[in-house]
Structure 1
Amino acid sequence: MMYRSTRGQAPLVDAGAALRAGVAPDGGLYMPQELPRFTAGDFSDTPDLPGLAARLLAPFFADSAIKPALPSICADAFDFPCPRIPLASINSGPDILELFHGPTGAFKDFGARFLFRAFAALGQSTDRPVTVLVATSGDTGGAVGCAAEGVAGTRAVILFPAGRISPFQEHQLCCWEPPVEAVRVSGDFDACQALVKAAFADPDLARRHNLTSANSISIGRFLPQMTYWARAALDVTAETGTPPGLIIPTGNLGNAFAAVLARACGVPIGPIMLATNANATLSDWHASGQYEGRPSIATLANAMDVGTPSNFERLADLPPGQIEAVIRVNDDAIKTRLRATFDQSAYIACPHTATALEAFHTLDTDQRQARRWIIGATAHPSKFADTVEPVISQTVALPPALEAVLGREAKCREMGVGLPELAGVLAG
């Protein structure tokens, strides 16, 4: 398996080289040169998530140094549950796929843990460590920090936007020990993301610090994220005889693109619908066919506050028609759906999950009854207690892993939005 750039001006590389580079030399994103094809029967003897992951991902890491270690990487990275919870009180579903039972309470744990274990398999040098440079709109930073802490041969530098993430998220991404460093940037997420791209586009800076990415622009992030969509889709298809529909809350498009790629590989997935917050880039594109990035808008679903989603370049690289609908949900609708879901089923959702629940309720009766629908629940609601608790009039308890985070000391550096300042941070 070789990887090509979406911009077509860079040499083909294997999975290890694509993982180390993060972004292709021409500024494009790496894509598999060709996709493997699977049938449901290919996974009949892999009932658990780690076993399915090793089978599904094996072709993507063929001929790379990662492949022999893939089963152990998957077993270690995916060692927490991923339950599918039916909302029985709501007619015709949906099921909630809880992706937040990892150590930092967010779906980003799947990709981040896989990524750093893959780096370890590649044998990074402690004399010249790989520097994982990441921009976060909230949850990615915590997952990366947790996954990177104590990993030899790596260094993680996490950029986050000042005043644009929840207090718990900020504490969580600033509490990790070396080789992790958090940096508060005086700009929004798109400014942080632009800094990461600018650093990769500077050959001297990228070479000097051995830069790579842990954002979903990295193949080491979105490829492992295919596995939980595949597991849920295979299980529902076996139960009902019909591939399920997915409703995925998204900002930077990595989680959604993972589902699109899984379906393109033959996993039985029906319609894929995206739920976004008030940021209109994706809904306007789907309505008009014209893509135009723009500054992000701050919302209650802050991890999705993205005006220029990086993975759109990968989506545009595939044939059209990959996304069946994009439903935009404003803050008032998020709060209303949080309350209604709690009243109807006692289920407590985070604001991002609530956008997908609201999108589900825009479907007509025939659409709901045609198949089972799966909602991606991306984060534990306790991470957004300041938003959720006033709406449902109830305290949301922290799970033990997240409670332990509050006992750690939080520390970070401050910087503006210029590349020279980032270069100074990278230099130490």
Structure 2
Amino acid sequence: MKLYSTNNKDLRISFKDAVFNSMPQDKGLYMPVEIPQLDADFIENIENYSLPEIAYKVASALLKDEIPAEDLKALIDDAINFEAPAVKLDNKTFALELFHGPSLAFKDFGARFMSRVMAYFLKDGEQLLDVLVATSGDTGGAVALGFLGVPNTRVTILYPEGKVSPIQELQLTTNGQNIRAIEVKGTFDDCQALVKQAFADAELNAKFRLTSANSINISRLIPQTFYYFNTYAQLKRQGLNDVIFSVPSGNFGNIGAGLLAYKLGLPVKQFIAATNINDTVPRFLASGVYEAKPSTQTYSNAMDVGAPSNWVRIMDLFNNNVEELKQIVTSYRFNDEETLAGIKEIDSKFDYVACPHTAIAYLAIEQFRNENPEDESAAVFLSTAHACKFPDIFPVDIAAKIEIPEQVSALAGKPKQAEQLDVDFDGFKRYLLEMS
């Protein structure tokens, strides 16, 4: 697998180098030189394959000879050891539950695969790998649990003060060992900017072996394609062939993976990018003007991103042809009041408890159906996090229905371990140098 930078299509590097370098020095993002077409027989008979089998088929097509077949199979079996069921709510509506991994969020797919890929490529005696990650909520917990105890790695997680839920914060700050947390007095965009600046800093790169665990890392994107293919397999088993995916979108890595799956040959009829009031992409698709703005805090905190990093990847997939992109991607935005109404509607109609991100994806499905009443496709909205992570958002009667998983109960009483920093790159740099 060879990759180029979205800022330099003449660049060629290996998958291994892209995993460890995470972001090109030209500040683009890595993309595969070739996106192969999965064979038609596999797609036609995909319902006969399990999730690990689908994951291996997709990963091997993309990675080619980067990891030997048996090693790749073992890696996938270890990383993707939980299910992603498409729960049927009615004959045409499904909630894709992506929260059955250890951190109770969809990002377990990417974080667990990435940590195992890095561990596979790391050799004994090599320089310590420093993983930097910014989180608006769920990424940090998934990365922390994905890398916890992985030899020869150290993870530093930056998260915005007061803008993650209590359970998300516990997942970030109670691990110890090789996991460090920094509480930044700013927004997610500030955290992301600090991480990106670190990757571009010559002194830090000379001293440390830096890489990212954010969705800017290509090894996060690849495993997220797996559950799109697996969902299509689940629908085919029920006789459904036309599918629409509604994806809660913040940094746009999740829907970016869906669109990569589409380019690999997954027959998707429509993607819906569902956002909260951080609506950079819906505004762009409506006006043709891309204008990032500072992020605003909402109930759906993992989507509080004003400058989504992965949008450049999506544009690259479509050769920056906005009209072609708009043929397959629609985007809607919803505010907190609408989000809460969506949570109540899902509970009332289906007796199903949805987190705020999931509710936004559901609302986008309903808006799409209202605008396209003739469309009879099965609609899948991605349920990206367990509802227990957002206890303060739900009305009392709905909150009472939420079952608390064992791994959440185990966090209670653990001491918080986090450094506090201002939005100041010099201070962040000094922390990295002094704590090395």
TM exceeding 0.5: yes
2:386 aligned with 1:387 = no
Tell me which moved more, 267-276 or 254-263. 267-276
Query: How do 1:16-165 and structure 2 match up within 5 A?
Result: 16-42=16-42, 44=45, 47-65=49-67, 69-88=71-90, 93-125=92-124, 128-165=127-164
1:405 shift after superposition: 2.6
1:286 shift after superposition: 0.9
Contact 2:358-2:385 at 8 Å conserved across structures: yes
Contact 1:237-1:268 at 8 Å conserved across structures: no
Please give the alpha-carbon distance, in whole angstroms, between the structure 1 residues aligned to 2:185 and 2:373. Answer: 44
Please give the alpha-carbon distance, in whole angstroms, between the structure 1 residues aligned to 2:24 and 2:176. Answer: 30
Equivalence for 1:230: 229
State the AA in 1 paired with 2:36: P
Please give the alpha-carbon distance, in whole angstroms, between the structure 2 residues aligned to 1:139 and 1:270. Answer: 28
RMSD: 1.8
Contact 1:188-1:296 at 8 Å conserved across structures: yes
* Residue 75 to residue 24, structure 1, CA distance change in 2 (3 Å): same
Equivalence for 1:347: 352
* Residue 35 to residue 68, structure 1, CA distance change in 2 (3 Å): same
Please give the alpha-carbon distance, in whole angstroms, between the structure 2 residues aligned to 1:57 and 1:202. Answer: 32
Structure 1 unaligned residues grouped into runs of 5+:
none
Contact 2:391-2:399 at 8 Å conserved across structures: no
Contact 1:77-1:114 at 8 Å conserved across structures: yes
* Residue 166 to residue 70, structure 1, CA distance change in 2 (3 Å): same
State the AA in 1 paired with 2:283: D
* Residue 382 to residue 288, structure 1, CA distance change in 2 (3 Å): same
1:235 shift after superposition: 3.0
Equivalence for 1:410: 416
1:9 shift after superposition: 6.7
* Residue 226 to residue 394, structure 1, CA distance change in 2 (3 Å): same
| Count, aligned residues | 425
Please give the alpha-carbon distance, in whole angstroms, between the structure 1 residues aligned to 2:70 and 2:374. Answer: 43
Please give the alpha-carbon distance, in whole angstroms, between the structure 2 residues aligned to 1:282 and 1:2. Answer: 29
TM-score under structure 1 normalisation?
0.95
Percent identical among aligned pairs is 37
Please give the alpha-carbon distance, in whole angstroms, between the structure 2 residues aligned to 1:238 and 1:358. Answer: 26
1:343 shift after superposition: 1.5
1:118 shift after superposition: 0.3
* Residue 270 to residue 391, structure 1, CA distance change in 2 (3 Å): farther
- Deviation by residue 1:20-43 (Cα, 9 ceiling, x = unmatched): 100012111000001010145226
2:377 aligned with 1:364 = no
* Residue 396 to residue 241, structure 1, CA distance change in 2 (3 Å): closer
Please give the alpha-carbon distance, in whole angstroms, between the structure 2 residues aligned to 1:391 and 1:332. Answer: 18
Tell me which moved more, 361-370 or 318-327. 361-370
TM-score under structure 2 normalisation?
0.93
Equivalence for 1:328: 333
